Amino acid sequence: MRYLPLGPDDRAKMLGVIGAKSVDELFKDIPQKARITGLLDLPMHAGELQVERTLGAMAAKNRAAGAGPSFLGAGSYRHHIPSAVDHLIQRSEFLTSYTPYQPEVAQGTLQFLFEFQTAVAMLSGMEVANASMYEGGSSCAEAVLMAGRVTGRSKAVLSGALHPHYRDTVRTFCQFSPVTVEHGDPVIDGVEDLAGKLGPDVACVVVQTPDFFGNLHDYTKLGAACRAAGALLIVVVTEVVSLGALKSPGQMGADIFAGEGQSLGVGLNFGGPYVGLFATKKQYLRQMPGRLCGETTDADGRRAYVLTLSTREQHIRREKATSNICTNSGLCALAFGIHVSLLGEEGIRRLAALNHAAAVQLADALGAIKGVKVRNKTFFNEFTVELPGSATDVVEKMVGQGVLAGVPVQRLYRDRPDLANLLLVAASETNTDADRTAYVAGLKKVLA
């Protein structure tokens, strides 16, 4: 028999204290369509070997990005990860470590987090970075909440070219906060008047470069307009490798940088875990979520690392906490830091150049196919292609050609049938000339 410590009477008393009629009522905030009713279509029980076979057969229905030419992007990018990264993060002192509740004892953990912060600050061009977030979407949402705290204002304006997953995450985070969210329709050509939306109630403007559709932006003028209006500029970067070639958020005058670090050191992993990046100006340090590690000297004058700032409920009074970023993505942050260290500044610039060159070659080849149009004037390693028919249908048929051709835009904008012909295509250093040739040949065959 299973050991169930609480009986019906115990549960009834607990529900009575919190004012709920049933356990089901505790889940009322989860939309009904997102809940599973009944049992999954799986055997009730099976031996270990049979379970492995069943799950293995289910997994085999998927085509992994590494199984052939892959041009998937839309916020998650396939890059080569040096074998040293996985080798080092699997050392027991890293793999089994947890939140440093007695931080100064965990000098190794504090040191790699300090080095991670340094790398993020340098890449983003910002003055101070924290010790990581969960992933890019929640990092963006925390940036919006922080802007509300800094400015005392209650409105966030989101670019129509912001990744829709980030937009939705911001809306979810803000629904129980004083901050309201305004966002426009998707902006494919990258041209929108965000400065015109500034007003006395606007806490921040959230933009992205390269944006969801791959367009590049210099937000320097928008940053100046935000400062004049008393609002903060939040710049989001979902492809951190781009910072090896493009103007950094700090150089544009961003007040907060929020990004995704998955591209460096962290595999696609079927969607996670990833590592969120967060950096800001020093003047806003006290309002930054998460942790901040610092460097000092001990009583004997030796270099030492300390937990300088930790703004979650377990460390300070709840009403003073800025977030509950706790265990965060420490192992992924370590992987990011190792990869950055192996590349160095010159290596990151070379990697960025390789990515851009691969994307230019592919865009030129696809644009030469009858009926195919590349929508971007500028891009880094990802661009939007307009097809003569449904992008979803083309992607499905391209799988039959052995190529993962990209991400249909309508997959992330299901309520926009007018975007059905648009396809996001990403190229990286992992793609070879043979991969690009296979893509072009397969697409010609599918469209014929």
In the predicted model, what is the mean pLDDT of residues 233-257? 98
pLDDT at 29 over 90: no
Q: What predicted TM-score, i.e. pTM, was given to this entire model? A: 0.91
Highest mean pLDDT among 40-54, 56-70, 203-217, 287-301: 203-217
SS3 324: coil
- What is the model's pLDDT at position 314? 59
pLDDT at 312 over 80: no
pLDDT at 198 over 90: yes
CATH architecture, range 83-340: 3-Layer(aba) Sandwich (3.40)
Dump pLDDT digits (tens) for 409-419.
999 999 999 99
pLDDT at 146 over 70: yes
- What is the model's pLDDT at position 3? 73
SS3 276: strand
Domain ranges in the chain? 68-79+344-447, 83-340
Cα dihedral angle (66, 435, 85, 279), rounded to 10 degrees? -100
**How many angstroms separate the CA atoms of 252 and 416, rounded?**
32
Is 83-340 in the same CATH topology as 68-79+344-447?
Answer: no
Cα first-last separation, the chain: 63
> 120 phi and psi, to 5 degrees?
-65, -40
Whether residue 134 contacts residue 330, with contact meaning beta carbons closer than 8 Å, is answered with no
Task: Specify the residue for token string 């998650």.
Answer: 76
Closest listed residue to residue 187, CA positions, set 413, 414, 425, 427: 413
**More confident site: 43 or 326:** 43
In CATH, 68-79+344-447 is 3.90.1150.10: yes
Neighbouring residues of 433: CB distance < 8 A, sequence distance ≥ 6: none
**How many angstroms separate the CA atoms of 237 and 247, rounded?**
12
Dump pLDDT digits (tens) for 326-356.
555 889 999 999 999 999 999 999 999 999 9
